Amino acid sequence: MAQDTSKPLVLSNARVIDPARNLDAPGAVIIVDGTILAAGPEAANQGAPEGAEILDCNGAVVAPGLIDMCVSVGEPGAEHRETFASASLAAASGGITTICTMPETDPVIDDPALVDFILRRARDTAIVNVKPMAALTKGLRGEDMTEIGLLQEAGAIAFSNGHKSVRNPQILRRIMTYTRDFDALIVHHTEDADLAGGSMNAGLNASWKGLSGVPREAEIIALERDLRLVGMAKSRYHANLLSTAESAKVLQIGKDRGLDVTAGVSINHLTQNENDIGSYRTFFKMSPPLRDEDDRQAMIQALKDNVIDVIVSNHDPQDVETKRHPWAEAEDGAIGLETLLAAALRLYHNEDLDLLSLLAKMTLNPAKRLGLNTGRLTVGAPADVIVFDPELPWVLEKAAIKSRSKNSPFEDARFSGRVLRTIVAGKTVYTYD
């Protein structure tokens, strides 16, 4: 890992993909002083800078590092589940160069000093960029708004109420109105808790299992409500995790109406459905719940149609203490940093999306939404770059999981596509061997 970052780096003989320029062509990427000097076919022709280290990519893809907009880390409060060190190692090995962390920690990130704490911990222990999201309401209780301005000044990238919706529409409306003055982005969970009241997707499958179900309408109603409030407040809004076919339609209507709204979908909802739960396997328990195959297909279609903008891992480390319970009593959540890209490549291999469009959902789109200058191979941008072989087969073995928690729904899964090198600000932080 000890690399002289002052030395220029040339990634040659590569397939360069840069969604910002709609570029997918043979070429090279030249990195000098931690920033991109050139990328693409032109870089291949311009020759290596003096004293550069030249890395032959053998035709592998070079692309912007991924930006994951929904990551839970156990720090502070649950370091036994995940730390910035372990999460960032997992991220780096999965080709993720920026993680946006959820404020659902103990204590909740609802104070500027805590944002500062995260940034300092990240600086000292993390090998990828960490962009903390702050709580939208104090203690995530959904009652009182946090210090949006001060938190933003401290470095909060966006505001989230975690995996819980703000219940009271009047409170949410006021917070939305207030965030507008700071141009702050709200990343909101869309689930009506009163209507949800279950532990897996409502329907026949849940009924046979004797589990109470979370109806799709719990998400649809929350999203519809939120979009109406956005219409009133004119705020910037991002629906964090959509899961139903109807939600995509509702979001499209909001976009058609000219609202400043975007949405994300978790990799789990793009690659799994409720049948994967099998006999109460709690690693597949999450919020929103895995839906049926029609919804999964609809989520992919919504990506294709650019209705849903962003793919996230929704990385949520849980341990034996929280997962090895009867289904209804187990915590939600699955880890996903290490498998985000590999699992997303399934959509490419299934010919659902081309590589350029697929990568845009994890690079350029989140960067634009968050106002980051990464997620692209633009000259002068920070050199957050990954090299990956989209075909290389591998199997996720539990023993090889870098995350401190092992609750992966992809345990023993076969993938095609593997990250070979991850570079953050010109520095190699991960290489596959």
Partner 1 sequence: MSSTDPHRDSPFPHRHLLGIEGLQPHEILGLLDRAEEAVEISRKVEKIKPVLRGRTQINLFFENSTRTQSSFELAGKRLGADVMNMAVSQSSVKKGETLIDTAATLNAMHPDLLVVRHHAAGAVQLLASKVGCSVVNAGDGPHEHPTQALLDALTIRRHKGKIARLTVAICGDITHSRVARSNIILLNALGARVRVIAPSTLLPSGIEKMGVEVFRDMREGLKGADIVMMLRLQRERMNGAFIPSVREYYRYYGLDQEKLSYANEDALVMHPGPMNRGVEIDPAVADGPQSLIREQVEMGVAVRMAVLEALAAHLPTS
Query: In the complex, which residues of this chain contact partner 1 (CB under 8 A)?
Result: 202-211, 213, 215, 279-280, 320-321, 324-329
Which C-beta is closer to partner 1: that of 80 or that of 234?
Answer: 80
CA atoms of 311 and 407, how far apart (whole Å): 20
Which C-beta is closer to partner 1: that of 41 or that of 203?
Answer: 203
CA atoms of 177 and 154, how far apart (whole Å): 21
By the 8 A CB rule, do 152 and 182 touch?
Answer: yes
Q: Residues 317, 323, 329, 334: is their CA dihedral positive or negative? A: positive
Which C-beta is closer to partner 1: that of 207 or that of 275?
Answer: 207
CB of 42 to partner 1, least distance (A): 58
Which C-beta is closer to partner 1: that of 196 or that of 259?
Answer: 196
Which C-beta is closer to partner 1: that of 333 or that of 390?
Answer: 333
By the 8 A CB rule, do 114 and 140 touch?
Answer: no
* DSSP SS3 for 333: coil
CB of 213 to partner 1, least distance (A): 6
CA atoms of 24 and 265, how far apart (whole Å): 24
Which C-beta is closer to partner 1: that of 180 or that of 325?
Answer: 325
CB of 209 to partner 1, least distance (A): 6
CB of 81 to partner 1, least distance (A): 16
Cα separation of the two ends of the chain? 12
Which C-beta is closer to partner 1: that of 210 or that of 380?
Answer: 210
Buried b (16+ CB within 10 A) or exposed e, 55-79: bebeebbbbbbbbbbbbbbbbbebe
CB of 255 to partner 1, least distance (A): 31
CA atoms of 41 and 52, how far apart (whole Å): 18
CB of 280 to partner 1, least distance (A): 3
Q: Which is nearest to 266 in space by CA: 72, 418, 414?
A: 72
By the 8 A CB rule, do 156 and 133 touch?
Answer: yes
Which C-beta is closer to partner 1: that of 106 or that of 124?
Answer: 106
CB of 294 to partner 1, least distance (A): 14
By the 8 A CB rule, do 129 and 384 touch?
Answer: yes
CB of 331 to partner 1, least distance (A): 12
- Beta pairing, strands 61-64 & 53-56: unpaired
